[in-house]
Amino acid sequence: MSNSTPQPALEIIGRHSLNGEVKISGAKNSALAIMAGTLLCGDDCRLSNMPCLADINTMGQVLASLGVKIKKTGSTWEFNPRDLKAVKAPYDLVSQLRASFFVIGPILTRLGVAQVPLPGGCAIGSRPVELHVRGLQAMGANVIIEHGVVNASVKGSSGRLKGANIFLDYPSVGATETIIMAATLAEGETVIKNAAKEPEIVDLANFCNSMGAKITGAGTDTIIIQGVSRLHSTDYEIIPDRIEAGTFLVAGAITHSEILVTSINYDHLIPAIAKLEEIGCRVLREDETTLRTIPGALKASDVETLPHPGFPTDMQAQFMALLTISEGNSLVTETVFENRLRHVAELKRLGANIKVKGNSALVCGVPMLSGAPVMATDLRASAALVIAGLAADGKTIVQGLQHLDRGYENLEQKLQGLGAKIQRLPHYQP
């Protein structure tokens, strides 16, 4: 008998086709940045279509620790940042959630001082923040990093950051978001060149503009922000989660099923849809917000992750799961993060034939996967293992659900709704 502690796990009985429709939740990564953005406003902000996720709750705790009052009604959250006083984000929360570092820009630009612990690395890479820091320095912040904390303050008597021309060495999503937020209340114009173009950047800019900010160019590589002296309250709806939507499209493809994926934004899914079609699964646009998967014979295709509008790194693991049973050899190359191929070892436990060299994986399609116990190594890797389990013969047990629960709202209920044989075992004894 094993003496390890029981852990929650998902049990999947594979090779059942899916049918029906699944509704996509609000985008985790948009919601996280926009929650930080509520700190910019002196008045109430209301966000709807908020996903119910561990990461979102952690970000809520970060804001609460800074003095923000939060009221939740279903998927609508109200933020009252009038009593924002604390300038220091707590280490125990920031270390759990890297995105909580994004509060540095809004706190600094509102209060003139911000102290945020360095978030540290995570399962997929070292994840430095020097681009965020350099952007704030260019706007006149004085930044001292000591004892693991980034201490930023605004120089000069005005207490306001100053607009600046900022060129990002790399189109970092987080750094672009930090600079946008800091620049909304800065004095004068900020221009970000080589900015990230992800849909979540556009969502953040639209949210800030709905509060009276003056941001143009979001979604292109040059973003211009005219600083304003204050922002007003707003009511804003978070965009659909393109990564969750893409994950369900892959689930349809790998199980050779026709499913409807609803509440999506088509434009945000173009890179994933193009790749699915290349692999052999057709994706029909039923209407503005609904897609239908039409199964087909799966064939190999190369994947290289890139900043948007390239293929998203957050979909790499799920597509690798699909390619394991696609006929032929596929080369999957990860260029965004340095350590994002850890799911390979687990996919191999399910019978996949994959060889890794550097940041590339050669996936040689096999006719079928076979169920086995596997361990999730990070958020998107856990989704990849669930998807692989849906196609594998027999029983797959996915452990390490703390990763999955960070970023997928009710994944197993949504899959059950599509007819998948999946259940959560609350006390799985390995």
Q: Looking at residues 27 to 56 of the shown chain, list those that interact with ligand UD1 (rule: CB under 6 A).
A: 29, 32
Least Å from the CB of residue 256 to ligand UD1: 29
The values of phi and psi at residue 417, to 5°, are -60, -25
Is 364 in the active site? no
Q: Which is nearer to ligand UD1, 12 or 59 (CB)?
A: 59
Closest residue by beta carbon to ligand UD1: 174
CA distance 268 to 246: 10
Q: Is 336 in the site for ligand UD1 (CB under 6 A)?
A: yes
CA distance 191 to 203: 18
Site string for ligand UD1, 141-170 (x = CB under 6 A): -----------------------------x
Q: Is 184 in the site for ligand UD1 (CB under 6 A)?
A: no
Q: Is 175 in the site for ligand UD1 (CB under 6 A)?
A: yes
Count of residues that interact with ligand UD1, criterion CB under 6 A: 22
Least Å from the CB of residue 177 to ligand UD1: 7
Least Å from the CB of residue 127 to ligand UD1: 5
Catalytic residue from among 41, 45, 52, 122: 122
CA distance 247 to 254: 11
Least Å from the CB of residue 102 to ligand UD1: 8
Specify the DSSP element, H or E, that contains 317.
Answer: helix 316-323
The values of phi and psi at residue 105, to 5°, are -65, -55
Q: Looking at residues 81 to 140 of the shown chain, list those that interact with ligand UD1 (rule: CB under 6 A).
A: 98-99, 125, 127-132
Least Å from the CB of residue 89 to ligand UD1: 15
Whole-number Cα distances in Å, 77 to 48, 105, 274, 289: 6, 21, 35, 23
Q: Which is nearer to ligand UD1, 199 or 365 (CB)?
A: 199
Which SS3 state, helix, strand or coil, does residue 322 take? helix
Half-sphere exposure of 211 (CA within 13 A, CB side): 31
Q: Looking at residues 337 to 366 of the shown chain, list those that interact with ligand UD1 (rule: CB under 6 A).
A: 337
Helices (H), 68-155: 91-94, 104-111, 130-138
Least Å from the CB of residue 172 to ligand UD1: 3
**C-alpha angle with apex 426: 425 to 427, nearest 5 degrees?**
95
Q: Is 301 in the site for ligand UD1 (CB under 6 A)?
A: no
CA distance 178 to 135: 8
DSSP 128: -
CA distance 125 to 419: 36
Site string for ligand UD1, 371-410 (x = CB under 6 A): ----------------------------------------
Residue 271's nearest CA partner among 312, 332, 318 is: 312
Q: Which is nearer to ligand UD1, 243 or 415 (CB)?
A: 243
Least Å from the CB of residue 55 to ligand UD1: 8
Report CA dihedral (146, 90, 408, 77) to the nearest 10 degrees.
-130
CA distance 120 to 18: 40
Site string for ligand UD1, 255-294 (x = CB under 6 A): ----------------------------------------
Q: Which is nearer to ligand UD1, 94 or 173 (CB)?
A: 173
Task: Give the binding site for ligand UD1 (CB under 6 A).
Answer: 29, 32, 98-99, 125, 127-132, 170, 172-175, 196, 200, 313-314, 336-337
What residues are labeled active site? Answer: 122
